[in-house]
Chains A and B, each alone.
Chain A
Amino acid sequence: MLRSDRRAALLALVAGLAIVALAQALATRAAPPLYDGVIVQETYRWLQPPSCQPGDPTSASTDQPVAQGTSPGFAVSTDEQPPQAQLLVAPNTLPLPSGTTGLKIAVKPIEPPAPPSGREIAGNAYAITLETQVGQPITPPASAGVTVILRGPVGIPTPVIGHEAGGSWETLETNPTGGLQHTYQAVVTDLGTFALLVPAGTVVPCPGVLGSPLDLASIIRIVVFAIIFVPIPILFVVWVRSRRRRQV
């Protein structure tokens, strides 16, 4: 092996491992060693399934002990693969009432409330509760970063996570959950009922062989992606190298 190859190999190995460590340390949730591989998602389970879709969505609940007044870290997920609804709480982030010895957490699909005007619910609505051992609700501050993750059915436009309380809906700042399809997350400051909301009339319960149609936004994304992906990085490196050669 040439010395320059060995030097480049070591540089790539060290830089690669450093970037992996940094990306893992800065991630807001657990990540795999690399995002790759074969993704096989279970078909979405509906609480009120259309004729072409499966039903029986699962629930999840857990009791978490509290030691020395410090809130534990935990994740509560429904049993689908990947889960359809999850609540993520980092350790030592929740303000707990004095005397708290444990937390009760539950995630459950429920009969959907009426959606806000001009929107519809994509998939199921989920009741997510977080209480002390005596049933006192916990209200997480924004700084706690308590996160709700919802997976939706295929063939829907990009949704937002809605939070319903007392008959009114609030839409939350929603981001796609990297590494998973049709899955979205939002930091919450109150618990209760959550659902993915999309423009009314856009949920196609039985998408058919073509799935969701390619909308204008998707086409623009593809074009921008192609422009970034193909020539710019390669031509840039070639240009830098050729300049360096000319200088030599």
Chain B
Amino acid sequence: MGGRVELAPAGSAAATMPGPRAWLTSATARACLLALAMGGLALVRAQIALAGVVDGLALGAAYGLAWLGLAAVAGWRPVRRTGELPTGQLRAAGLGLAGGLLLVAASLAFRHPGPLLVAHAAPFAPWAAVTILVAGAEEVVLRGAFFAALGPVVGPFGVALLAALAFALIHVPLEGWSIVPLDVGAGLWLGGLRLLSGGVMTPAAAHVVADLATWWL
């Protein structure tokens, strides 16, 4: 997390839709495999969570680590551009903080009156640590590896939209279909932050802020 992802040059193999063998090694195929793995992880996590046989924090930590592993397998690596000052990352984190707060503010402004139903039956510190791990890992995969694989093929808005759809769908097995519109919107917002900043740090920081805010809302 925290690095910048360089998108493959436009006009790569996937962009020209070659034969089946070449397609299998293309960016599109890589993105499909990544989506398949994301869906698989989401289904496994949901099945274990619904069975109720593993502590939620332990399951969350394992899930976050699995996503980081997925990003590594997909070839995502944090890259610091030569000559970039550390303040660049701080600025990116600051932009993410602001983006997260804006997302929270917009949600509060339009939210249905009544209590927020959340499941936080855990002490704050370990819950926050696992929440940061999961949110960061999801961003590294979705707005990192997935963006890098598919960005040159479908363009910047297309990849933001697909990453938002994937973000919503990975939460369906655990949280139901009714969450899709909200998560598509939030995913697009995070994708916009990714495009604006050029790196994963900004959407990751915004994602973490939005998740942690549920403790107090």
The winner among B28, B109, B113, B131 for most chain A CB atoms within 10 A is B113
Give the segment of B65-73, B82-90, B114-122 that binds chain A: B114-122
With a CB–CB cut-off of 8 A, which chain B residues contact A180?
117-119, 175
Which residue of chain A lies nearest to B163 when distances are taken between CB atoms in the complex?
A12
B39 near A9 with CB under 8 A, answer no
Which residue of chain B lies nearest to A175 when distances are taken between CB atoms in the complex?
B178
CA gap between A94 and B122 in the complex, in Å: 36
Q: Is A248 part of the contact surface with B, judged by Cβ < 8 Å? A: no
B185 near A23 with CB under 8 A, answer yes
* A75-B115, A179-B118, A211-B52 known; A12 vs B192 contact (CB < 8 Å): yes
B43 near A222 with CB under 8 A, answer yes
CA gap between A6 and B157 in the complex, in Å: 10
With a CB–CB cut-off of 8 A, which chain A residues contact B114?
29-30, 73, 75, 88, 90
With a CB–CB cut-off of 8 A, which chain A residues contact B184?
19
* The one of B55, B173, B191 that contacts A16, using a Cβ cutoff of 8 Å: B191
B210 near A34 with CB under 8 A, answer yes
Give the size range of A's interface with the partner: 35 or more
B165 near A212 with CB under 8 A, answer no
A13 near B127 with CB under 8 A, answer no
With a CB–CB cut-off of 8 A, which chain A residues contact B112?
24-25, 27-31
With a CB–CB cut-off of 8 A, which chain A residues contact B94?
none
Q: Is B75 part of the contact surface with A, judged by Cβ < 8 Å? A: no
With a CB–CB cut-off of 8 A, which chain B residues contact A25?
110, 112
Which residue of chain A lies nearest to B181 when distances are taken between CB atoms in the complex?
A23
B191 near A34 with CB under 8 A, answer no
* The one of A20, A42, A179 that contacts B106, using a Cβ cutoff of 8 Å: A20
B-side binding surface: helix, strand, loop or mixed? helix
A24 near B50 with CB under 8 A, answer no
* The one of A16, A24, A176 that contacts B189, using a Cβ cutoff of 8 Å: A16
Interface membership of chain A positions 188-219, coded 1 if the CB is closer than 8 angstroms to chain B and 0 otherwise: 00000000000000000001111110100000
CA gap between A178 and B165 in the complex, in Å: 17
* A73-B114, A230-B39 known; A154 vs B175 contact (CB < 8 Å): no
A234 near B150 with CB under 8 A, answer yes
* The one of B50, B55, B211 that contacts A34, using a Cβ cutoff of 8 Å: B211
A30 near B50 with CB under 8 A, answer no
CA gap between A130 and B32 in the complex, in Å: 52
A230 near B35 with CB under 8 A, answer yes
Interface membership of chain B positions 123-144, coded 1 if the CB is closer than 8 angstroms to chain A and 0 otherwise: 0000100110011001000000
B116 near A31 with CB under 8 A, answer yes
* The one of A14, A20, A211 that contacts B182, using a Cβ cutoff of 8 Å: A20
With a CB–CB cut-off of 8 A, which chain B residues contact A238?
14, 17, 28, 153-154
Q: Is B74 part of the contact surface with A, judged by Cβ < 8 Å? A: no
With a CB–CB cut-off of 8 A, which chain B residues contact A233?
162, 165
* The one of B55, B120, B157 that contacts A81, using a Cβ cutoff of 8 Å: B120
Closest CB in chain A relative to B55 CB, distance in Å: 8
Q: Is B78 part of the contact surface with A, judged by Cβ < 8 Å? A: no
B155 near A228 with CB under 8 A, answer no
Q: Is B13 part of the contact surface with A, judged by Cβ < 8 Å? A: no
CA gap between A50 and B175 in the complex, in Å: 28
The 10 nearest A-B residue pairs measured at CB: A211-B51, A154-B52, A19-B185, A16-B188, A16-B189, A12-B192, A40-B56, A13-B192, A178-B178, A9-B195
- 14 residue pairs of the A-B complex, CB under 8 angstroms, read A12-B191, A17-B189, A32-B214, A33-B186, A36-B138, A36-B186, A37-B214, A77-B115, A211-B52, A234-B32, A234-B162, A241-B153, A241-B158, A242-B15
